[in-house]
Amino acid sequence: QQPVQSPQAVILREGEDAVINCSSSKALYSVHWYRQKHGEAPVFLMILLKGGEQKGHEKISASFNEKKQQSSLYLTASQLSYSGTYFCGTAKAAGNKLTFGGGTRVLVKP
Amino acid sequence: SAVISQKPSRDICQRGTSLTIQCQVDSQVTMMFWYRQQPGQSLTLIATANQGSEATYESGFVIDKFPISRPNLTFSTLTVSNMSPEDSSIYLCSVVEKGIHYGYTFGSGTRLTVV
A27-60 pLDDT, tens digit per residue, is 888 899 999 999 999 999 988 887 656 666 678 9
pLDDT of res. A53: 63
Cβ-contact B89, B101 below 8 angstroms: no
Residue A94: list chain B partners with CB under 8 A: 100
- Show residues of chain B in contact with A98, CB under 8 Å: 33, 45, 94, 104
CA nearest B31 in A: which residue?
A: A95
Q: Do A2 and B42 touch (CB under 8 A)?
A: yes
The backbone torsions φ and ψ at residue B56, rounded to the nearest 5 degrees and listed phi first, read -105, 120
What is the pLDDT at residue B97?
74
pLDDT of residue B99: 61
**Among the partner residues A47, A97, A102, nearest to B42 by beta-carbon distance:** A102
Whole-angstrom distance, CA of residue A13 vs CA of residue B2: 34
Alpha helices in chain A (DSSP H): none
pLDDT at A20: 98
Contacts of B105 in chain A (CB under 8 A): 44
- Closest CA–CA distance from residue A15 to any residue of chain B (Å): 26
The three-point CA angle A60-A66-A72 to 5° equals: 25
Q: What pLDDT score was predicted for residue A56? A: 64
Average pLDDT over residues A17-24: 96
Asked if the Cβ–Cβ distance from B100 to A94 is below 8 Å, we say: yes
pLDDT at site A106: 98
